[in-house]
Amino acid sequence: MEMLFEEEQQQIQAISDRLQKDSNAIAVLVINKDGQEIARSGQTSDLDITSLSSLFAGNVAATGEIAKFLREEEFGGQFHEGTKQNVHISVVARRAILVVIFDGRSSLGLVRLRVRKATEEMTKIFDALVKKIAAQQAAGIGGGSQLPGEITDEDIDKLFGE
């Protein structure tokens, strides 16, 4: 079970916000490797975040696998150039995907620079999160006691209108 707590989400959100501003980007997305959203910043209201997250995750998984077949450790990042928009995709701490969508008001050089800084900062938070979850599990809290109370059979049945 993978978990994201309010505290870390807010820290990642803050880094994502700053990255979007500092790089003059249209939008920034932070996604976990399974394709679920962690944070979003900038102009995202017209984006289908759920679909995009799944596609970015599929893309990164495929690219990572290609790297293995070519005996590359990992490709540093990906850049897709469109006519109006460009996308920069990179992996953070092996567990999250950082996506920057930008146009002519920014540049690849600037995006790369800011992404590097944001990646360093986010890596610290993800490392801390992993330790926190491990510590909780060792203490037998298992993250569980904080979950929606305890899930009961009735809760599950209700979900299916039974």
Quick one: 18 or 132, whose CB is closer to other proteins? 132
Cα gap 18→92, rounded to integer Å: 16
C-beta of 7 vs 127, nearer to other proteins: 7
- Is 128 an interacting residue with respect to other proteins (CB under 8 A)? no
E-only strand ranges, 44-136: 77-81, 86-92, 96-102
CA distance linking residue 80 with residue 58, whole number of Å: 15
Q: Taking CB under 8 A as the rule, does residue 134 contact other proteins?
A: no
Instruction: Please say which residue, 38 or 111, places its beta carbon nearer to other proteins.
Output: 38
The Cα–Cα gap between 143 and 64 comes to: 30
Cβ 67 to other proteins shortest distance, Å = 13
- Give least dist CB 13 to other proteins, A: 8
Span near other proteins by CB under 8 A; candidates 15-23, 71-79, 106-114, 147-155: 147-155
By beta-carbon proximity to other proteins, the closer residue of 17 and 117 is 17
Distance between CA atoms of 83 and 48, rounded to whole angstroms? 20
Check: CB of residue 124 under 8 Å from CB of residue 117. no
Counting beta carbons within 10 angstroms of the beta carbon of residue 75, is it exposed (0 to 12), middle (13 to 18) or buried (19 or more)? middle
Binding track over 101-120 against other proteins, x by CB under 8 A: --------------------
Of 34, 31, 33, nearest in space to 87 by CA: 31
Q: Give residues 43-62 in contact with other proteins (rule: CB under 8 A).
A: 48, 50-51, 54-55, 58, 61-62
Interface residues toward other proteins, by CB under 8 A: 1-6, 9-10, 32-38, 48, 50-51, 54-55, 58, 61-62, 65, 142-153, 155-156, 158-160
